[in-house]
Structure 1
Amino acid sequence: MDLNQITIESKATVLEALNKLNQIRKVSRLILFVKNQKGKIIGSITDGDIRRSLSLNQDLQKSVEEVCFKGFVHHFENNDFIDLSVYRAQNIKILPVLNNNGTLSRVIDLEITQSTLPLECMIMAGGRGKRLSPLTDTIPKPMLPLGGKPIIEHNIDRLISYGIKKIYISVKYLGEQIESHFGDGSSKGISIEYIWEDEPLGTAGALRLVDKFNSDYVLLMNSDLFTNVNFEEMYLLILKEKADMVVASTEYKVDVPYAVFETKGNKVKAFKEKPSYVYQSNAGVYMLKRSLIDQMTKNEYCDITEVMETLVQDGGKLVYDPILGFWIDIGKPTDYKQAQEFIKHFK
């Protein structure tokens, strides 16, 4: 967002403020932030502030400095996690984030932004997608359309809504199409970098090809998921548990069509008629400490399950976070059809 669109000089008139408010787009609330000659934000002004001023006198030539609300709620920039629930409880819709000198650093639209996670992310998008052939004979699986945009774009847009601004995409098969579609990410207000795998490196090997991650924790996810996984919940969990890695999980139910015996030797002690068992299974979304990536060998095949297994064997802490919403792994034609039907009812 161009900050000039939502800032106004303190000496500007109320009429000028009205005209500028009418030009604001793609923001959930019409608001301007008033800055003095040094650029310091001294207040906010909405159409409500202007109406209240005009009800007292009909002077459209008043300066916005006289009309603006000087007790506006704001947050000071520290490039760290911001607990937005504190501001939502105050019914704040637009949160200005100020630099230490009081100038405007950025604004957070709480109607659009779920969180502000200090994370970088890698999306794995290099696979061939053979099970979806012939659909994937000329289109990489992550670019298959779903509800009017590619599968991978649903994931990127969700990452953006959680405040993630730096995304790496590991590509190989028809990766040029992905790179052409998203470019450097600037059209979405983020930075995208492409990691090309000369040879398949597994679900974790591409992480080591990044020169340096700048966040303490890194999010890794499959590109062919359609899910409303809560990334903030995962982040808070890994901090709370002081874990090395958290993996999102989904329930997998096994129905046994026969009676199952509980035995001792050859004696049946009890039995359950056609029982069902529910397991937490890997959902393809991981958050891990950057230090785990540093331990991987560059240009060597590595699956994330190997990292998880080694972590557990070495006494590290691996925790899981169940996805409470929806989750579809689009690996087969039936999965793709299910996702296409589901998104018709998705808002």
Structure 2
Amino acid sequence: MDAVILTGGKGLRLGKVSKKTPKVLIKIDKKPILEHQINFLEKNNIKNIWILSGHLGQKIDYFLNKIKNRKININHLIEDSPLGTAGAIKTLEGKITTDFLVISGDVMFDIDLESFINFHNNKKDSIATLCVHPNDHPFDSDLIDIDTDGKVKKLLIRKGKTQPKNRVFRNLANASIYTFNPKIFKYIQKNRKCDLEKNIFPKILESKQNIYAYNTAEYIKDMGTPKRLKIVREDYQSGKIARQNKKNKQKAIFLDRDGTLNMQDGIDDVRFNDFKLFPFTIDAIKKINQSNYLVIVITNQPAIAKGFISEEEIELIHKKLETELGGKGVIINGIYYCPHHPER
């Protein structure tokens, strides 16, 4: 399987740090993030990489020449003018003829790549599989709404720089790590600037073709702002990035929902319009996020089987929970509910 690394971004949000240095060459513990990504791919037996760049591409080329003596084959293409994430990928049509990986060059991550690829391969009708995850800044991220099988139902693209304030959502952010079927090339116009999120993924869904989302709690974080760059560097130094790979055993805290995270009026079922967190909930979960534990919410909802509330409303309540927490930089790694009747 080939892999593609997109390195054409200018990194404007990083300010002076990326003015003369491509953001993919910014160092995380003495190595550029691009080198970390190449090392990850090499470790996972990827044999051929395509690096697509534009802005300050000659500096990237110089760096690649310094590390070229390795087992992995590295191809570097520099675009003459910006083509966007999708337009750049279109230049590889005919060069790549089987399923391939695509990674944004500003993302620091450590995932079980075999599991991600197997998920994609098991979805025989998938044009694209997106890696998604809960993150601590969902309002300035592109979000994904999925069904129970992981099929993408809706793309929640930012309006301007942020999500609409009145929107409730699952905190599933596009992690900018993908597996594509080569059929995706036919959805991209040649020599036309276009982006995957804004132009190509909507086009695929409009044509009634399928996109799937691989939901993971593993470490994935873009370092596109000074604050996030600082966090990534700290997380690498502490070993957190490698530790969260799901090949390693993970620790988790399981939390009940009603009466633990949110208020409950006696024995009455909690409804969407009445859902309200306790004042201490956000700070409590934030402390867990800062530890080495995952946060899993579990809840019995027999009112579904009794016909008092629909599963659709339960899902809306959980979206409201994730929205309120996400707005404060707090995440939940999973929510599970039991809809069954206690006596049947």
Question: What is the TM-score when the length of structure 2 is the normalising length?
Answer: 0.57
Aligned counterparts of 1:188 and 1:170: Cα–Cα separation in 2: 19
State whether structure 2 residue 217 is matched by structure 1 residue 334: no
The answer to whether the 8 A contact 1:253-1:278 is kept is no
Q: Superposition pairs for residues 38-187 of structure 1, below 5 Å? A: 119-183=1-65, 186-187=68-69
Aligned counterparts of 2:94 and 2:67: Cα–Cα separation in 1: 19
State whether structure 2 residue 85 is matched by structure 1 residue 203: yes
Count of residue pairs the alignment pairs up: 210
State whether structure 2 residue 195 is matched by structure 1 residue 313: no
What is the letter of the counterpart of residue 291 of structure 1?
Answer: K
* CA drift at 1:277: 6.1
State whether structure 2 residue 175 is matched by structure 1 residue 293: no
Gap change, CA 1:255 and 1:175, over 3 Å in 2 = closer
What is the letter of the counterpart of residue 247 of structure 1?
Answer: L
* CA drift at 1:253: 6.2
* CA drift at 1:214: 3.7
SS across alignment from 1:142: helix
Aligned counterparts of 2:42 and 2:133: Cα–Cα separation in 1: 23
| Cα offsets for 1:242-301 (capped at 9, x unmatched) | 111100001146899xxxxxxxxxxxxxxxxxxx96421100011111121144222111
* CA drift at 1:309: 0.9
The answer to whether the 8 A contact 1:246-1:288 is kept is yes
* CA drift at 1:211: 5.2
Aligned counterparts of 1:298 and 1:176: Cα–Cα separation in 2: 24
Aligned counterparts of 2:20 and 2:8: Cα–Cα separation in 1: 14
Q: Superposition pairs for residues 217-236 of structure 1, below 5 Å? A: 217-236=99-118
Aligned counterparts of 1:345 and 1:291: Cα–Cα separation in 2: 41
What is the letter of the counterpart of residue 173 of structure 2?
Answer: S
Q: What's 1:92 paired with? A: none
Divergent runs of 4+, >6 A: 253-256
Aligned counterparts of 1:205 and 1:129: Cα–Cα separation in 2: 18
* CA drift at 1:151: 0.8
Q: What's 2:194 paired with? A: 302
Aligned counterparts of 2:215 and 2:138: Cα–Cα separation in 1: 20
Aligned counterparts of 2:127 and 2:66: Cα–Cα separation in 1: 30
Aligned counterparts of 1:179 and 1:277: Cα–Cα separation in 2: 41
Moved more, 278-287 or 288-297: 288-297
| Larger relative contact order (Cα-Cα within 8 Å, sequence gap ≥ 6) | 2
Aligned counterparts of 2:99 and 2:186: Cα–Cα separation in 1: 12
SS across alignment from 1:128: coil
What is the letter of the counterpart of residue 249 of structure 1?
Answer: V
* CA drift at 1:184: 8.8
Please identify the structure whose Cα radius of gyration is greater: 1
Aligned counterparts of 1:192 and 1:255: Cα–Cα separation in 2: 34
| Cα offsets for 1:161-190 (capped at 9, x unmatched) | 111111111111111121111229641211
Aligned counterparts of 2:18 and 2:11: Cα–Cα separation in 1: 6
Q: What's 2:252 paired with? A: none
Q: Identity rate of aligned residues, in percent?
A: 23
Where does structure 2 lack aligned partners over 5 or more consecutive residues?
140-167, 243-344
The answer to whether the 8 A contact 1:252-1:278 is kept is no
SS across alignment from 1:284: strand
Aligned counterparts of 1:138 and 1:184: Cα–Cα separation in 2: 19
What is the letter of the counterpart of residue 193 of structure 2?
Answer: Y
Aligned counterparts of 1:213 and 1:229: Cα–Cα separation in 2: 26
Q: Give the CA RMSD over aligned residues.
A: 2.2
Gap change, CA 1:211 and 1:304, over 3 Å in 2 = closer
Q: What's 2:133 paired with? A: 250
Aligned counterparts of 1:235 and 1:334: Cα–Cα separation in 2: 31
SS across alignment from 1:307: helix
Aligned counterparts of 1:249 and 1:307: Cα–Cα separation in 2: 17
Gap change, CA 1:338 and 1:345, over 3 Å in 2 = same
| Cα offsets for 1:96-127 (capped at 9, x unmatched) | xxxxxxxxxxxxxxxxxxxxxxx111111011
What is the letter of the counterpart of residue 345 of structure 1?
Answer: S
- Structure ranking higher in strand proportion: 1
Where does structure 1 lack aligned partners over 5 or more consecutive residues?
1-118, 257-275
Identify the match of residue 345 of structure 1 among 228, 238, 251.
238
